[in-house]
């Protein structure tokens, strides 16, 4: 039996915004997150990770982040697994035009993490979210997300920090 490979996440929290923010103008755009069940809208060449296999997996759920005004352009993707007592973030990635110094939007990764936190509350998991971090980003996630180190590179976002992220991005969400 083939052992599944643990992927260490290396997403950048560039800014915690109330939605996503145009990096040049500072204009704020409301977002929409929806589950993806088909691979036709995702070109492999546009992404670092293999989102096609994530979508095909029976154990994972993949969601895309778009702006409310343009739901055809994917700003970022997240793959999560429901673990029964918490949400595990398998993968998270901003679209390539939202990476680096010339990125179009800030706040994409923060928005996706907040979505995982919100989903954890909705599932009755008290907002608990876990993920595996690359070693060099552990301090970054501790500072920006309030994530805590559990064991090795495994980190988690607890209820209090999850509530802060959820209410920042999802204004109408009630706990």
Give the residue ranges of DSSP H helices in the chain.
51-56, 108-122, 138-145, 159-169
Q: What domains lie within the chain, and their CATH numbers?
A: 20-169 (3.40.630.30)
Quote the Cα angle for 2-76-36, to 5°: 65
pLDDT in tens, 69-93: 999 999 999 999 999 999 999 999 9
* Residue 31 binned pLDDT confidence (cut-offs 50, 70, 90): very high
pLDDT at position 174 over 90: no
CA atoms within 13 A on the CB side of 31: 32
Distances (CA, A) of 133 to 48, 147, 153: 16, 10, 5
Four-CA torsion 84, 90, 73, 32, nearest 10 degrees: 30
Asked if 120 and 128 count as a contact pair (C-beta separation under 8 A), the reply is yes
pLDDT in tens, 15-30: 667 789 999 999 999 9
Determine phi and psi for 21, rounding to 5 degrees. Answer: -125, 130
């Amino acid at each position: 039996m083939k052992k599944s490979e643990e992927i260490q996440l290396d997403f950048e929290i560039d800014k915690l915004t109330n939605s996503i923010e145009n990096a040049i103008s500072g204009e704020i755009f409301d977002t929409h997150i929806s589950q993806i069940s088909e691979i036709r809208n995702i070109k492999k060449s546009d992404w670092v990770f293999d989102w096609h296999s994530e979508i095909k997996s029976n154990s994972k759920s993949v969601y895309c982040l778009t702006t409310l005004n343009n739901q055809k352009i994917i700003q970022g993707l997240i793959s999560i697994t429901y673990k029964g007592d918490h949400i595990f973030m398998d993968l998270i990635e901003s679209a390539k035009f939202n990476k680096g110094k010339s990125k179009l939007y800030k706040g994409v990764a923060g928005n996706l993490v907040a979505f995982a936190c919100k989903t954890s509350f909705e599932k009755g998991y008290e907002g608990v979210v876990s993920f595996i971090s690359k070693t060099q980003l552990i301090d970054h996630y501790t500072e920006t997300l309030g994530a805590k180190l559990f064991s090795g590179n495994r980190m988690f976002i607890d209820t209090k920090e999850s509530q802060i992220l959820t209410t920042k991005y999802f204004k109408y969400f009630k706990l």
